[in-house]
Chain A
Amino acid sequence: MTALRRKDRPNPAMLGKSSLRSRLIKYRWLYLFLVPAIIWYIIFAYGPIYGLQIAFKDFKILKGIEGSAWVGMKHFNKMFADRTFIRVMWNTVYISLLKLVFIAPSGLVLALLLNEVTHKFYRGLASSITMLPHFFSWVVIGSILLEILSPSTGMVNAIIRFFGGKPIYFLGETNWFIFWVILSDMWESAGWNSIIFIAAIGAISPDLYEAAQLDGAGRWKQLIHVTLPCIAGTIVVVMVLKVGSMMNAGFDQIYNMYNDAVMSDVDIIDTYVYRLGIQSSKYSYSTAVGLFKNVINLALVLLTNKFSKMIGQNGLF
């Protein structure tokens, strides 16, 4: 039984590659495996990709995508001339960064905590129940939050009052509002995201723990020296992809939570574009914004991927 750590595995590049021909023959069957996915991507993913051209056109539904007139960079120019757009872009980055720091690791932390639970039934119960919030839509979570956070009738403020505190209008003040955005997102997604880490931890060989115990390592040392290195690959993939959605700060959540008092500070790109769109179905403009967002997302993925390679991980590609 060999250890699973990636560094210990022979790197084919170092061993000297066998010739292209022999590799093609060796893997000929594996290409067949790829066929269903490739067909799916060609039809359903890249079939409609021509639609992106409307970012550079003045799309009119009746004229169709091909028939609409080219307008060059008009929509992009408009985007950067719009002060509101610039503002919501910074809001997006701000909220995304907070989410990256607090929410991205929460699934991992929860998985590690669950791993420390030795009582089997309790562990099962906890991992099932913590996953459930993912089934609530943000419409529902938003209205529950509205009720429990109300300064006059809400439960949270009832507790604060009980301990002699002064009620706080959580949703009416920007910083508190963002606090609840982060907390509720963590609550909603931690259980769901922990699943992948639970599986990764489960795949670690018990022999490694045994060896560590023989060396006299406690739970903490085992965590640092066995658990984390063994699931580092999964952590990296999850983190790189999280960074790759930096420009999406959670449309459903913000949309169902915000109000006029905090809107100018928590309005994100997606909510802003949605409001523009619902009034004047600006397909071209919202496609341009989407394109802009995703180019940045892609650039961020490339950067993080590079970084992950620098610290000795495989990264995405």
Chain B
Amino acid sequence: MKKFLSLVLAMLLVLSMVGGALAEEKMTIKWLAALAPLEDDSWGEKAFEETFGVDVQIKRAESEDERAVIYASGDIPDYINMGNSLNAVANLVDQGILRPVTLDMIKENMPEYYAMCTALDPDFFTYGMVDGEIYAVPRYSATSAPLVGTIRADWLRKLNLAVPTTVEELTEAFTQFTFGDPDGNGVDDTYALTAGGGSTTSDWQRIYFPSIFGIYNVNPYYWTENENGELEFGFVSEGSRKALTLLADWYKKGLIDPEFVTTELRTSGTDVASKFCSGKVGYMDCLGFDDYEWDNDGHVSAKWVANSPEWQAFFSSTTDTKVLYQYDTTSDFSEALEAVGPYYINMNPVKDEEGNTGSYPLEGNVGAYLCFGATADDAKVAKIMQILNQEATDEETYMLHFGPEGIQYLKTEDGTRVFNPEYTNLPEYHPQGQILGVGWCLYPMYFSNPDLLTAVAGDRYVQRYDRVLPMFRAFPSFDNKLKASLPAAIEYPEATTTFVSNNIVKLVRGDISMDDWDKVVEDWMNNGGRELTEQANEWYATVK
């Protein structure tokens, strides 16, 4: 009897060990990202767990406050998607919530992704660094493009003007746009340009006239290199002074819509794109290539179509997508577009007074910073890296982002995938795939691989990514020279954000005279600017 008992016990022991080993094999990963699947055990979550052989535990938090209490309760997620603010990453590092990784870990666990990104940008993996250590795997944004200036071709034609190539010609065109009655309604109700001061972008920056600053190769929120080879903050550089002088002059002449301070960047009916499309202004420069408010990716945006009976007629004339998506946006006058209806031109940057070519600010190529919680061990980090690598570079895994075939996309006879036009009417439909559980939360790597942009093809996507994106990319552009988070940026967050926006508006409106420019610069220096410049150059010395 005793023997039998001990045998049973021994067997139980063995069984429990085997069971334990089996359970141990499946790693549990705590996953925190925005736009999480609405419910547990969604299609996307199951596919994720099956594909990668892990058990994923999704943390749901959309706001900063929700995230803060998750961290504070001591249950730190293993994977944290920090969005596109490096300062936010630095802050969590400061709070002790993130752990560093090494470049070797990235190379070892994400070989294909590493190769792909470094081929596109050799310094790419240094962009997630804080205090000299890598705290984030940056997500490559394959659709990033310069913020291009867009001008109404129909107005230029009506006023017998060429596409401007210099500041002088641009000023002349803007004057005519304002006073020459370009819309022909006999009322003086037009302006040349406006801006979207009513909305902030990430990190509390606002987008004010980037293409005008671009004439002088500067963005007030970016760091640039001056002639001494030192980093200088865009707003206090000579280029900014010139751009602001020009803008203040235009404002005084009445060329700039005075409402640029409160006009929304986003949908509201009186936002920048609506004003441009409905003919309140003739120039606009604040919406990026992939901006949903603008669809600046094809020949005409949705808002433009809404304002143009000609284009509406064109779009309702046929359902053949080959015909519908035949016209690409241009950087010069186009007879073909003119034949259909009014159109606009994504123009080349103009030359400044001294004949130097201008350029456009580039939206950085980091789409998001993907980070690792302080409590995640090396094995977990390695696994997460492998997952991200596979999502970015393996086409089959990449396609999980779009859900199962037959819902969001269909396969045509020749095997290409096309979007299902009926998708929006299906019960599984959700703009961010949160019902299926696909999308940003578990599959953050979509649009990170240039080769897979048209994984789901169709004529619109071919037009968008294969034809128009290269044209945008070809415009001269410049990027932020600073690729690190400065300790002083946490100490003085306003110096590179609100201070700049407030003063741009005041200088343009003439609330502060351009004669007092030196005082403004001095003020910036005294409010953290000196420390920022010092630290920026310390960092710059380490990468040069």
Q: List residues 210-237 of chain A with CB under 8 A from any CB of chain B.
A: none
- Asked whether any CB of chain A lies closer than 8 Å to the CB of B442, the reply is no
- Asked whether any CB of chain B lies closer than 8 Å to the CB of A21, the reply is no
Q: Tell me the smallest distance from the CB of A156 to a CB of chain B, in Å.
A: 14
- Is chain A's binding surface mostly helix, strand, loop or mixed? helix
Q: Do the beta carbons of B259 and A263 come within 8 Å of each other?
A: no
Q: Tell me the smallest distance from the CB of B30 to a CB of chain A, in Å.
A: 15
Contacts of B95 in A (CB 8 A): 60-62, 281
Contacts of B74 in A (CB 8 A): 64
- 9 additional contacts (CB under 8 A) given A83-B527, A263-B502: A63-B96, A172-B509, A260-B506, A261-B505, A276-B494, A278-B64, A279-B87, A279-B203, A280-B493
- Asked whether any CB of chain A lies closer than 8 Å to the CB of B97, the reply is yes
Bound state CA distance, A143 and B262, in angstroms? 10
Bound state CA distance, A96 and B94, in angstroms? 36
Most buried by B among A83, A84, A169, A279: A279
Most buried by A among B94, B204, B262, B270: B262
Q: Tell me the smallest distance from the CB of B511 to a CB of chain A, in Å.
A: 7
A113-150 contact mask (Cβ, 8 Å, vs B): 1 or 0? 00000000000000000000000000000010011001
Contacts of B270 in A (CB 8 A): 146-147, 150, 153
Bound state CA distance, A260 and B494, in angstroms? 13
Contacts of B198 in A (CB 8 A): 146, 259
- Asked whether any CB of chain B lies closer than 8 Å to the CB of A171, the reply is yes
Contacts of B494 in A (CB 8 A): 84, 275-276
- Asked whether any CB of chain A lies closer than 8 Å to the CB of B501, the reply is yes
Q: Do the beta carbons of B64 and A260 come within 8 Å of each other?
A: no
Q: List residues 188-207 of chain B with CB under 8 A from any CB of chain A.
A: 189, 197-198, 203-204, 206
* Top 10 A-B residue pairs of the complex, sorted by shortest distance between their CB atoms: A62-B96, A260-B505, A279-B493, A280-B490, A61-B95, A261-B261, A280-B91, A260-B501, A61-B71, A259-B261
- Asked whether any CB of chain B lies closer than 8 Å to the CB of A152, the reply is yes
- Asked whether any CB of chain A lies closer than 8 Å to the CB of B88, the reply is yes
Q: Do the beta carbons of A261 and B490 come within 8 Å of each other?
A: no
Output the nearest chain B residue to A278 by Cβ-Cβ distance. Answer: B64
Q: List residues 216-270 of chain B with CB under 8 A from any CB of chain A.
A: 257-259, 261-262, 264, 268-270
Output the nearest chain B residue to A267 by Cβ-Cβ distance. Answer: B498
Bound state CA distance, A237 and B448, in angstroms? 60
Enumerate 24 A-B pairs (CB-CB under 8 Å) in ascending A order. A60-B94, A60-B95, A60-B96, A61-B68, A61-B95, A62-B374, A147-B269, A150-B270, A151-B259, A152-B257, A169-B259, A172-B261, A259-B197, A260-B501, A260-B505, A261-B511, A275-B494, A275-B498, A278-B204, A279-B203, A279-B490, A280-B91, A280-B490, A283-B68
Q: Do the beta carbons of B204 and A275 come within 8 Å of each other?
A: yes
Output the nearest chain B residue to A63 by Cβ-Cβ distance. Answer: B96
Q: List residues 243-281 of chain A with CB under 8 A from any CB of chain B.
A: 259-261, 263-264, 275-276, 278-281
Contacts of B110 in A (CB 8 A): none
Output the nearest chain A residue to B85 by Cβ-Cβ distance. Answer: A279
Q: Do the beta carbons of A279 and B88 come within 8 Å of each other?
A: yes
Contacts of A261 in B (CB 8 A): 197, 261, 505-506, 509, 511
- Asked whether any CB of chain A lies closer than 8 Å to the CB of B59, the reply is no
- Asked whether any CB of chain A lies closer than 8 Å to the CB of B401, the reply is no
Q: Tell me the smallest distance from the CB of A80 to a CB of chain B, in Å.
A: 16
Bound state CA distance, A143 and B505, in angstroms? 21
- Asked whether any CB of chain A lies closer than 8 Å to the CB of B72, the reply is yes
Bound state CA distance, A279 and B258, in angstroms? 30
A157-188 contact mask (Cβ, 8 Å, vs B): 1 or 0? 00000000000010110000000000000000
Contacts of B206 in A (CB 8 A): 260
- Asked whether any CB of chain A lies closer than 8 Å to the CB of B483, the reply is no
Q: How large is the interface on B (under 10, 10 to 19, 20 to 34, 35 or more residues)?
A: 35 or more
Bound state CA distance, A63 and B97, in angstroms? 10
Contacts of A280 in B (CB 8 A): 87, 91, 94, 490, 493
- Asked whether any CB of chain A lies closer than 8 Å to the CB of B504, the reply is yes
Q: Tell me the smallest distance from the CB of B2 to a CB of chain A, in Å.
A: 52
Contacts of B509 in A (CB 8 A): 172, 261
With A276-B493, A280-B91 known to touch, is A147 a contact of B268 (CB < 8 Å)? yes
Q: List residues 377-402 of chain B with CB under 8 A from any CB of chain A.
A: none
Contacts of A64 in B (CB 8 A): 72, 74
Contacts of B97 in A (CB 8 A): 61-62
Q: Do the beta carbons of A61 and B490 come within 8 Å of each other?
A: no
Contacts of B197 in A (CB 8 A): 259-261
Bound state CA distance, A312 and B217, in angstroms? 70
Q: Do the beta carbons of A260 and B72 come within 8 Å of each other?
A: no
User: Which residues in A have some Cβ–Cβ distance to B below 8 Å?
Assistant: 60-64, 83-84, 143, 146-147, 150-153, 169, 171-172, 259-261, 263-264, 275-276, 278-281, 283
Bound state CA distance, A166 and B74, in angstroms? 59
Output the nearest chain B residue to A257 by Cβ-Cβ distance. Answer: B262
Contacts of A147 in B (CB 8 A): 268-270
Bound state CA distance, A261 and B510, in angstroms? 11
Contacts of A169 in B (CB 8 A): 258-259
Q: Tell me the smallest distance from the CB of B66 to a CB of chain A, in Å.
A: 13
Q: Do the beta carbons of A61 and B261 come within 8 Å of each other?
A: no
Bound state CA distance, A146 and B64, in angstroms? 27
Bound state CA distance, A93 and B493, in angstroms? 24
Bound state CA distance, A96 and B311, in angstroms? 53
Q: Tell me the smallest distance from the CB of B269 to a CB of chain A, in Å.
A: 8
Of the candidates A151, A152, A260, A278, which one forms a contact with B280 in the assembled complex, judged by CB atoms under 8 Å apart?
A152
Most buried by A among B96, B206, B261, B268: B261
Contacts of A151 in B (CB 8 A): 258-259
Contacts of B88 in A (CB 8 A): 279
Contacts of A152 in B (CB 8 A): 189, 257, 259, 280
Output the nearest chain B residue to A58 by Cβ-Cβ distance. Answer: B94
Contacts of B502 in A (CB 8 A): 260, 263-264
Q: Do the beta carbons of A263 and B204 come within 8 Å of each other?
A: no
Q: Tell me the smallest distance from the CB of A47 to a CB of chain B, in Å.
A: 15
Q: List residues 490-504 of chain B with CB under 8 A from any CB of chain A.
A: 490, 493-494, 497-498, 501-502, 504
Bound state CA distance, A280 and B204, in angstroms? 12
Output the nearest chain A residue to B76 by Cβ-Cβ distance. Answer: A62
Q: Tell me the smallest distance from the CB of B63 to a CB of chain A, in Å.
A: 10
Contacts of A171 in B (CB 8 A): 261-262
Most buried by B among A62, A83, A171: A62
B89-122 contact mask (Cβ, 8 Å, vs A): 1 or 0? 0010011110000000000000000000000000
Bound state CA distance, A62 and B64, in angstroms? 16
Contacts of A283 in B (CB 8 A): 68
Q: Do the beta carbons of B262 and A146 come within 8 Å of each other?
A: yes
Contacts of A172 in B (CB 8 A): 258-259, 261-262, 509
Bound state CA distance, A150 and B74, in angstroms? 48
Most buried by B among A61, A169, A259, A260: A260
Most buried by B among A64, A169, A259: A259
Output the nearest chain B residue to A84 by Cβ-Cβ distance. Answer: B494
Bound state CA distance, A64 and B87, in angstroms? 22
Bound state CA distance, A276 and B258, in angstroms? 29
Bound state CA distance, A260 and B503, in angstroms? 8
Bound state CA distance, A146 and B265, in angstroms? 13
Q: Tell me the smallest distance from the CB of A88 to a CB of chain B, in Å.
A: 11
With A61-B68, A153-B270 known to touch, is A279 a contact of B261 (CB < 8 Å)? no
Q: Do the beta carbons of B64 and A61 come within 8 Å of each other?
A: no
Q: Tell me the smallest distance from the CB of A102 to a CB of chain B, in Å.
A: 24
Bound state CA distance, A185 and B95, in angstroms? 38
Of the candidates B72, B261, B493, B506, which one forms a contact with A275 in the assembled complex, judged by CB atoms under 8 Å apart?
B493
Q: Do the beta carbons of A260 and B259 come within 8 Å of each other?
A: no
Q: Do the beta carbons of B204 and A279 come within 8 Å of each other?
A: yes
Contacts of B87 in A (CB 8 A): 279-280
Contacts of A276 in B (CB 8 A): 493-494
